[in-house]
Every structure is written in C-alpha cells, then in structure tokens.
Structure 1
Amino acid sequence: MPISIASYGNFINYLFWFKISVVIVFFVSCKDKSPEIDYLITNAMVYSGELVDPSLLDIGISGEYIVFFGDSKSTGINAKNIIDASGLFLCPGFIDPHTHLDRDLSGPDYKSNLSSLRQGVTTVFAGNDGNSPLPIARKLEEWERNGIGTNAGLFVGHGAIRRMVLGLGAKQPNVEELEEMMNLVAKSMEEGAFGLSTGLFYAPGSYAKEEEVEVLAKVAASYGGIYDSHIRDESSYSIGLISSIQEAINIGRKTGIPVHISHIKALGTDVWGKSKEVIELIESAQKEGIDVTANQYPYLASKTSFRATVIPRWAEDGGNDAMLERFKNNEVKSRLLNEIKENIRKRGGAEALVFSEAENKLYDGISLKKFAELRKLPEAEAAISILAEEPNLGVISYNMIEEDLKNFMLKDWVVTGSDGGSGHPRKYGSFARKIGNYALKEKLISLPFAVHQSTAKTADLLGLEKRGLIKEGYYADIVIFDPKKYIDKATFESPYEEAEGVEYVFVNGAMAIDKGHYKGILAGKALRINDFE
C-alpha cells in the first residue's frame, strides 16, 4: 500500500525529535559523568608554597600533574581515588638544594631515598661542595635506567674537575689546563648540570685562586647555571668568614652568575655572633643587583671529614699518601702540631669534635678528647694518630650558636637545605625539624614562610619550572602531613631515625607514601637544566 504524504511527514517528524532526544541524553550523560581523574584530595589545609595564608581546598591529580585546585563539590569531579585529608596540611613537595645523596640514589638499597621522602622531600640536588660524579650524563642516565624515589639533579663539581685535570696537588693551571677545565664545565652543563659547585674549604678546591673559579663560573653562567659554593672559610682558618663571603659575591659581580652560599653559618668560636655582619654584607650586594641566596640546615653541629677539620691544607698537598708521609717527617711535625692545636681550638675544643662513621666502631661516637685520654697522647698528637689509621674519618663538630642560626633562618633569601650525608641527623630530619620545631612549635617563623623557603623559593633560585607550588598544570609533587605529629626523630646519638608525621607523598603524580607506608615505587625523574629552557 502506498504511504500517504501525511504519514511520511509524521515519520520524518518522529525521526527529528528522536535524534534531538538522543543528543540531549548524550550531553546530559556527559555532564553527569565528568572525565575521571586519578586522585582527588579533599578537605586539606593547603599551603600553596606562596607567601599567603592557607586555605581549605581540594586538589585533583591526573597523570603527573595537578589538574584541579579549588572546591570539588561545585564541579562534579569524578576520581578513581579519593583521599580525605581532614585535619592534615598539604604542601608542595619540599626541594633540597644541597645533599650528598648521589651514592644513595645509585645503590639498590637506598635509591628509594626514604630519608627524604619521610620528610616530604620530593626533589634533591647532589654534586655539591665541588664533589660531583663525572660525566654528569652517565649518572643521570643511570638514575633513569635504575629508577629513583625522588626527583634529582646535579651540579658539576669544581673539585672533581680539578682532580681530573690537575690531580691533588696545590698547583695552578696553565692556559691549556684551564681551557680543559672550562671545556669540562661546558660539557657538564650541556649534559644537564644546574651549575658549578665549589668546596673551597676542601682540598683540592682550596688550592684554586679566585680567578680560576671566576673563569669556570662564567662558563656555567653562559648556560643559565648558578654558582653553588661551600665558601673558602666559614670560620678563621684562612681568609676568614667575611672575606670568604666577599669572594663569593665578587664572583657573582664579575660574571653575573647567581650566587648560592651553601649551608650558611658562622662556624667556630672566633666568628660566633658575626651572622649580622654577614647578613649586612649580602643584603648590600643584593641592593647592588647581585643575585645572592643561601641554604641552611637547622642544627648547631656540622659534619665533615676530620682531616679537613684539623689538618691545614698545605699538609694535604698531593693527597692522602703525601699527608701520611708528612706525619712521619720530624722537620715539619712541630709546625703541623701547632696548627692542628689551633684548629682544634677554633672548633670549640677537643670535646666538641665527635668521631662519626669510623671504620673501627670502637671510635664511633667518642670525642677527640676521649680518644686522646685513651691513647694517653696530647690532643694534636692524638689527631695525627687516628688519621694515620683512618684518613677518611668523619667528625661531628659542635661549633655554632643558636643566635646565628636563628638570624640566618629569618632571612627570606635563606632556603632550607639538608647537606644530607651519613652520620648526621640533618639527612633524616632537616625539613621536619625546621617546620616541626622552628615553625610549628617555637613559632620563630610562620608556617607559610617555612614552606615557601622549602619549596617555591628554592625552585625559583634553581630555575625549576612547574615545581614548588600547588597550582594547576604543575607537577604533582605533594606532601600531606599531620601538624600534630610532624617532627624529626633523628639525633646525634641515633642519626638514622626517620621523621614522623608524613601521611602521603606524591612524586610526579604517583603515590609514594600512603597513610605513612612506603609503596615501593620509584617515581622520581633525573632533572636536567636543559629541561627548563
């Protein structure tokens, strides 16, 4: 039977409205089912990394990035995982600009970097104090191949380059040798180093003149790097604390490179109380237009090599074997003992020097004073005696005062850094101690300030893009901690105790710590300065 024109029109009309209904249902369905994100963190007190008061907000994570920052109830966000962070504080993952963790990150037992993660640190830098692995590219590629628990970057070490080109002697480079050193800095920067580090207190870096460092810093500056310096003298060993700060500033003035003074301090009885003079000097340079910052660990004792603490640099000329030969040389021994005695005094006396990481565990944790009594030797003679047995012995040196520590901590150009290495609680506790003790407990500094100096400020001085802030489009490096429990537990007697109070840590969007438990993942990235050009 033929279809009437009226019936055909009704059919077309039906199809039209059917299609419209399908479209409406589709869009309503899409609205009700927003794209799923990986994690939604709700009810967190958020310290964004900026110098602003915290807010109660929700954070969304998808893949490696923060994709939402606000009130999730009004947006209809769907998430695969929801974390209720009620009563907890959320911050950007902390950034540690000065560590000695390159060996940890390279070893199967420690590459997770739990000493950092347990504090909420998600990014670390190594190759400091002039001592870096070489080539830079090889180490970064190794970390990528084997996996690391936190993000990590490297400086190229002036001391490492000097050893490679000039050996361990107190010589000065000729034109060809200096050019070789410049080429090594350039190659390292091209491979991803974030700048040049120096350890001018330590041999062989200590043998370099300012002009040598200036030339190499200028190369690093041409690649956008910074000058990270353990200055020549934090005390009164050689040119003195003030002159050493001036040397670092001069290098910045002559080359234009940003200067970063590593673990700023006034070390030893001769310079206690000089923090105000150091601060005035640095802030005067800043007014001149020189970019000067510093990092600090919140402890009154340092850790370094016992040899560097008591032995004058001239006695180290040529390396360890040459030093041991001088110990046997009666012609130089009198001078050596006198200088050792003076260096012990500058450090606060033999009782303030406590051995750490000794190969002979009988010496671990005892002072030079106690060791001298056991050996029935004068203290300077005892120092030579133990170094003849253990030339690489470490020492905890109780050599700072609270007034100087606090004066530096209050400055907005001083960021948090651990100088983390074995045998000192700073490796396991620096960030937890600064925030848990000096911000939350003592209230010397505000919590927004403490977080800023551990995140955004550090990211800015290092040139790290999309890290250091809680912000949409930034990498999801995040720490969530309980403010009632967050504190360092490591002490000088028990330096390997992990910090407490961190509930969750995300590294590049992956959950590394869940309800206080490490999940066994290695989500860190090997960072290169070239990544941020």
Structure 2
Amino acid sequence: MTSKPQSLRRRLMAAGLAVGLLSAGAPFAQAQEYDVLIRGGLLFDGTGAEGRAADVAIKGDRIVEVGEIPASATAATVVDATGKYVSPGFIDTHSHAAPGIETPELAPAISVLTQGITTAMINPDGGGPADLRPQVAAIEANKPGVNVIPMIGHNGVRREVMGLENRKPTAAELAEMQGLVREAMTFGALGMSSGPFYVPGKYSDTSEIAALAKVAAEFPNAFHTSHIRDESSYDIGVLASVAELIEVSRQTGITGVVSHMKMLGPTVWGLSDDAVEMIEAARAEGLSIWADQYPYAASSTGLSAALIPGWAQEGGQDALSKRLQNPEQRALIREGMVENLARRAGANAIMISSYSADPSLEGMRLDEIARRNLKDPLDTAIDLLIKGGAGIVSFNMNEEDLELLMKQPWMMTSSDGALVTFGEGAEHPRAYGAYPRKLRRYVLDRNVVSMAQAIHSSSGLPAQVFAIPDRGLIKPGYYADVLVFDPETVRDVATYPKPHAYSEGMTYVFVNGRAALAEGEVTAERAGRVILRGR
C-alpha cells in the first residue's frame, strides 16, 4: 500500500515539484511568503554592473532574495516593475537636510524621497553641532522619512571652543577640539567634515585640520570630507585646496573626500584636468581620495561667504554689519569684494535665493536689483549685507568641467540640497531634483555616463567609501532601501526660476523595507533611522 505514494513522490520530484505528502508523514511545502515582492524589473544592483532581469524579495527590513523567484511565492505587497528599473536607494553624501529633518514638519523628507534618496549624510562643510547627541535625539523623536548619518563638523567644534576668532588655537584649545571629535566618534559618528571656505574654519590651517582628522582616524574606516578652502582662483586656489585635502590624508591615513567638487568661476574653468591628475596621483600613491558632485552648473552659498574677504567675516554677521557701516572699513572691504565678484562671473551671475529683510528680492539677480536702485552692484550687495545678509545661487561653472569630473570612477553623487518648506524662498533646485536630473540629463539624454555608473556613484560607491554597513547594494542580507523608477518619466522638475517642484518618475521608494512612496505617491510611513558607528 505504500508503493503508490512513493511512486507518486518520485514522479513529482522528477517534475521539479518540491512537495510533501501527508500520507508519507511529511507536510506539503508552503509557497514562500514575503512582505514585498518586486517582479519583472531591470535590476541595477549598485555594484556598477549592467542591468539584468531579476526579482527582489523583502522580508522585514532586509532583502532576502534576488533573482528568479518562483511564481508560487506570495507577498503582502507585489510590485509589477515591468518596464522599470530597480536599484538601491541613493545615498546623499553631502546633504543639508539638517536642521530641517530635526523638525516635525519636515521630518517626512518628501523632497528627498522623491529624488530616490533613502540615506542623507548631514553636517557637511564642517557644520553641525559640536555635540551630536541632542541632534540625534531630535531626529529620532521625529521619526525621519529617510536614514540619516550625522558627521562631526570641524567648524562646529572650533566655534564651540574658540568662537569666531581669527587666530590659531592654543595647545589647550586644540586638545579640547580633539576631545570633542573623539567624543563624537565614540558616540557613533562615522566621520568628520570640514569647511575651511567658511568662518570659522577659514581661520584654521592645514595642521589644525590634520590634528582633528588624526583623532577621527583612530576609529576604523573613518573619513574626512571637506568643502575645500578655495574652489576658485582667489586666496590659495582650487588646485592648492585639493592638495590640502590630500595632505591631510597623507598625514593621517584617513579617507579624504572633496565635497561637491567644482571649478568655480571663469578664471579656473578647464582646470578639472589638472585636478583629476592630482587625485589620480594621490590614489596611485596609495591614499584613499574620492570626491562627490551635484549635477548643476550653479552653486549656492551665502552672499557674505561669496563676496566678503575672510578677515572681515570675523565675529559673524553682526560684526560684519558694523564694519560695513564704518566708512573706512567699508572701503577696505569693498576693495576686497571686487575680485570675489569677478570670480563669481559678475553681478548677473548672482541670484538672491533668500533674504528675510525683503523677500520680494528673492529670485532677482544682483545686477537687476542694482539697476532698480540706481546703485553699483557692489554697493547693492553691501546694503543687503548690512541688513542681515542673503542666500544666493551663483551661476559660475562650466559644463565641460562638470562632465569630465562626473566621468571619474572615484566621483560620487550628492545634492548639497537643503530640506526646506515647500514654496518658501528661491531655493536652489538641487534641493528637489539632483538625482533625477543626473539620470535624465546626463544619462538618458546626453549619455555622459551609463545608467550603471550613475547608480553605482549614488549607492554602492558611497556605501563603500564611507563604510556604511549593509547598504548601497541590492543583495540578500542588506537593508531594503530599494527604488523602482521609470526610465521614461524620471526627471527633475525644479528650475532656478521655479525651484519648488517635486521630481517625477520614482514609482516606489522603500526605506528599511517599508514603502515611503507607492505608485508615485507619498505614504504615511516614516521608516528612516539614524545610522551610527556600531549601531
């Protein structure tokens, strides 16, 4: 009587059916059940490999299967990705999402998610607090929509110890700054940022930055990202500034990253060749040197940072305003502004993006405001600075430099974008469109880089450079930060005149296995986490 079931079992096994028979004492095998099953898409796994047909299964917060998943498998959410691309979520290596993400209103991070960004690295340019614990607590309390990686910033640490003073630190002050960096790294920071372009980091020298980077380098896989001292030709020059970052890595062994790398202003257009050669030589030397870049030919900063000589920025905005109202000091400052305006490509290249004293000026060019007021552009800028300063968008880069840098295998993608209230201010469009812009303009329309390289530079490469555990790839066991996007429709919508517009084409965005975007619509999910060392 037992031969029939045994014979049936053999026949079923020969047919490739993994079943059990109750009469033989074994239960029927159950079809695999997942939380999310993404079927039929073209998978770019983040390694830089070309796309391939593959399904992706998610259970809990992890990817559990990648490949051809049997038709019998079921899931609570099944995504038909036919005709779409599937990739890891993007890691924004240079994000100004803080302090916005520390507030309840902006914590959902919609403008970030609609770009496909699932992880934002905050406190760039040396910014952020000297003590990361309150910041992390605020972010976690608001349940962010994306993952967040806080860096410890040199400028924040220097400000805590020395204020905005233009001098070298004493031995005791340097030791105190080193202690703050060590404390932040022990707390869980993955690395350190610096911004010697900005006050008070502007008043530091290479040895000071190296002394703090040496402390960070005590921790495994630490890194140092930097808004280098000069991206143009004034002061020490862009090439000397890249060399400074390399020298910090040479002295300390730390991984070095040139933040939002660019050739800023007509006087340095074309120097990207030299910068690439310099970085290649450092890498050949055995140093771990990388860079990131946003895909726009315009930058954004503060009007004072762009135009005011460093010595006149000592003490902050109030001190600057007083100096500008003193006739003798105003004349000296104005003299120093002449070259700085020229390197920004002139008054027409500067657009006011935020100005609390008179929001009606937002979106206007500096030369336009000057003509309206019947004043010289420099005097117009001084008037704005006396009344509290302004944020600007500066049109000062060359597409050929941008594209050459983008092609480098050590170049990552970033946004340099803030997390802002929708509709307020003439924000740089990178806050809404950086990653879709790269995919649309530089991959799909202009073929500057391949889709595989663009995705790798936005996911797997940052995870590798910054040693972010179990993220950046579509791979079993990795966290389920996953995108499904339409190559026909993915695009940036934000423009310089109308920057407040969400990007299009992201169909699904999963953060830690939960759908933050579904069918292109924002959900109520807030699954982001703060990523800290050892946690």
User: What is the CA–CA distance in structure 1 between the aligned matches of 2:332 and 2:76, rounded to whole Å?
Assistant: 71
Higher helix fraction (1 or 2): 1
How big is the shift at 1:72? 1.4
Match of 2:487 in 1: 483
Residue of 119, 125, 129 corresponding to 1:129:
125
Match of 1:186 in 2: 182
How big is the shift at 1:155? 0.8
Match of 2:207 in 1: 211
Letter of the 1:365 partner, please give it.
G
Match of 2:392 in 1: 395
User: What is the CA–CA distance in structure 1 between the aligned matches of 2:490 and 2:268, rounded to whole Å?
Assistant: 33
8 Å CA contact 1:127, 1:154 repeated in 2:
yes
User: What is the CA–CA distance in structure 1 between the aligned matches of 2:441 and 2:334, rounded to whole Å?
Assistant: 41
Match of 1:293 in 2: 290
How big is the shift at 1:383? 1.2
What secondary structure is seen at the aligned counterpart in 2 of 1:73? coil
Deviates more, 1:325-334 or 1:510-519: 325-334
Match of 1:379 in 2: 377
Match of 1:6 in 2: none
How big is the shift at 1:210? 0.8
Match of 1:68 in 2: 65
How big is the shift at 1:330? 2.4
Instruction: Report whether the alignment pairs 1:34 with 2:31.
Output: yes
8 Å CA contact 1:65, 1:508 repeated in 2:
yes
Letter of the 1:112 partner, please give it.
P
Match of 1:407 in 2: 404
8 Å CA contact 2:317, 2:388 repeated in 1:
no
Instruction: Report whether the alignment pairs 1:521 with 2:525.
Output: yes
Residue of 194, 198, 223 corresponding to 2:194:
198
Match of 2:476 in 1: 472
How big is the shift at 1:496? 1.6
Match of 2:365 in 1: 367
Match of 1:18 in 2: none
How big is the shift at 1:26? 5.7
User: What is the CA–CA distance in structure 2 between the aligned matches of 1:280 and 1:374, rounded to whole Å?
Assistant: 46
Q: Which runs of no fewer than 5 residues in structure 1 stay unpaired? A: 1-9, 11-20
- 1:26–1:358 distance in 2 versus 1, CA, 3 Å: farther
- Where do 1:330-479 residues align within 5 Å? 330-359=327-356, 360-391=358-389, 393-421=390-418, 422=420, 423-479=427-483
Which contiguous aligned blocks of 4+ residues in structure 1 show a shift greater than 4 angstroms? 21-26
Q: Which runs of no fewer than 5 residues in structure 2 stay unpaired? A: 2-19, 421-426
Match of 1:5 in 2: none
Q: C-alpha deviations, 1:484-511, integer Å up to 9, x for none?
A: 0000101111112111011101100111
User: What is the CA–CA distance in structure 2 between the aligned matches of 1:454 and 1:501, rounded to whole Å?
Assistant: 17
8 Å CA contact 2:98, 2:122 repeated in 1:
yes
Match of 1:147 in 2: 143
What secondary structure is seen at the aligned counterpart in 1 of 2:359? coil
Letter of the 2:401 partner, please give it.
D
Letter of the 2:370 partner, please give it.
A
Root-mean-square deviation (CA, aligned residues, Å) is 1.5
User: What is the CA–CA distance in structure 1 between the aligned matches of 2:136 and 2:210, rounded to whole Å?
Assistant: 26
Match of 2:13 in 1: none
Residue of 111, 114, 124 corresponding to 1:115:
111
How big is the shift at 1:25? 5.8
How big is the shift at 1:467? 0.6
Match of 2:159 in 1: 163
How big is the shift at 1:190? 1.1
Q: C-alpha deviations, 1:53-74, integer Å up to 9, x for none?
A: 2111111110001111111127
Residue of 88, 91, 109 corresponding to 2:87:
91
User: What is the CA–CA distance in structure 1 between the aligned matches of 2:109 and 2:292, rounded to whole Å?
Assistant: 21
User: What is the CA–CA distance in structure 2 between the aligned matches of 1:463 and 1:515, rounded to whole Å?
Assistant: 32
User: What is the CA–CA distance in structure 1 between the aligned matches of 2:447 and 2:375, rounded to whole Å?
Assistant: 46
User: What is the CA–CA distance in structure 1 between the aligned matches of 2:56 and 2:233, rounded to whole Å?
Assistant: 50
What secondary structure is seen at the aligned counterpart in 1 of 2:361? coil
- 1:326–1:55 distance in 2 versus 1, CA, 3 Å: same
Match of 2:77 in 1: 81
- 1:34–1:389 distance in 2 versus 1, CA, 3 Å: same
Q: C-alpha deviations, 1:198-246, integer Å up to 9, x for none?
A: 1111111100011110100000111132001000000022101111011
8 Å CA contact 2:103, 2:139 repeated in 1:
no
8 Å CA contact 2:294, 2:413 repeated in 1:
yes
8 Å CA contact 1:137, 1:192 repeated in 2:
no
8 Å CA contact 2:320, 2:386 repeated in 1:
no
TM-score, normalising length: structure 2: 0.93
What secondary structure is seen at the aligned counterpart in 2 of 1:405? helix
How big is the shift at 1:171? 1.8
TM-score, normalising length: structure 1: 0.93
Letter of the 2:82 partner, please give it.
S
User: What is the CA–CA distance in structure 2 between the aligned matches of 1:413 and 1:491, rounded to whole Å?
Assistant: 28
Identity of aligned residues (%): 38
Q: C-alpha deviations, 1:141-161, integer Å up to 9, x for none?
A: 222222000000111111111
Letter of the 2:149 partner, please give it.
G
Letter of the 1:133 partner, please give it.
P
Instruction: Report whether the alignment pairs 1:279 with 2:279.
Output: no
User: What is the CA–CA distance in structure 2 between the aligned matches of 1:371 and 1:153, rounded to whole Å?
Assistant: 39
Which structure is larger by alpha-carbon Rg, 1 or 2? 1
User: What is the CA–CA distance in structure 1 between the aligned matches of 2:21 and 2:190, rounded to whole Å?
Assistant: 56
- 1:47–1:177 distance in 2 versus 1, CA, 3 Å: same
User: What is the CA–CA distance in structure 1 between the aligned matches of 2:513 and 2:355, rounded to whole Å?
Assistant: 40
8 Å CA contact 1:42, 1:85 repeated in 2:
yes
